[in-house]
Homo-oligomer: A and B are copies of this chain.
Amino acid sequence: LNSHKQSYSNRGMSLEEDINVTNQYYLTHDICVIHKKPTPVQIVKVDYPKRSAAVIKEAYFKQASTTDYNGLYKGHYLDFEAKETRNKTSFPLHNFHEHQIEHMKAIVKHNGIAFVIVRFKTLGKTFLLEATKLFPLWDRQYDDAGRKSIPYHYFLDNGFEIPINYPAIVDYIKIIDQLFF
| A40, B79: Cα distance in complex, Å | 19
Interface positions of A from 15 to 48, Cβ below 8 Å from B: 27, 30, 32-33, 35, 37-41, 43
A76 at the interface (CB under 8 A from B): yes
- Cβ contacts under 8 Å, A75 to chain B: 76-77, 110-112
Task: Determine if A77 and B74 form an interchain contact, defined as CB atoms under 8 angstroms apart.
Answer: no
| A41, B43: Cα distance in complex, Å | 10
- Cβ contacts under 8 Å, A76 to chain B: 75, 77
Minimal beta-carbon separation of A33 from chain B (angstroms) = 5
Task: Determine if A56 and B65 form an interchain contact, defined as CB atoms under 8 angstroms apart.
Answer: no
| A27, B105: Cα distance in complex, Å | 12
- Give the bracket for the number of chain A residues in contact with chain B: 35 or more
A142 at the interface (CB under 8 A from B): no
Minimal beta-carbon separation of A55 from chain B (angstroms) = 6
A138 at the interface (CB under 8 A from B): no
| A144, B39: Cα distance in complex, Å | 41
Interface positions of A from 45 to 90, Cβ below 8 Å from B: 53-62, 64-66, 70-77, 79
A106 at the interface (CB under 8 A from B): yes
- Cβ contacts under 8 Å, A121 to chain B: none
- Cβ contacts under 8 Å, A35 to chain B: 65-66
Binding site for B on A (CB under 8 A): 27, 30, 32-33, 35, 37-41, 43, 53-62, 64-66, 70-77, 79, 103, 106-107, 109-112
Contacts A33-B106, A39-B43 aside, 9 further interface pairs with beta carbons under 8 A come to: A30-B109, A32-B110, A35-B65, A41-B43, A53-B60, A55-B58, A56-B59, A70-B71, A72-B79
Instruction: Give the 4 A-B CB pairs with smallest separation, nearest first.
Output: A75-B111, A38-B40, A56-B59, A77-B77
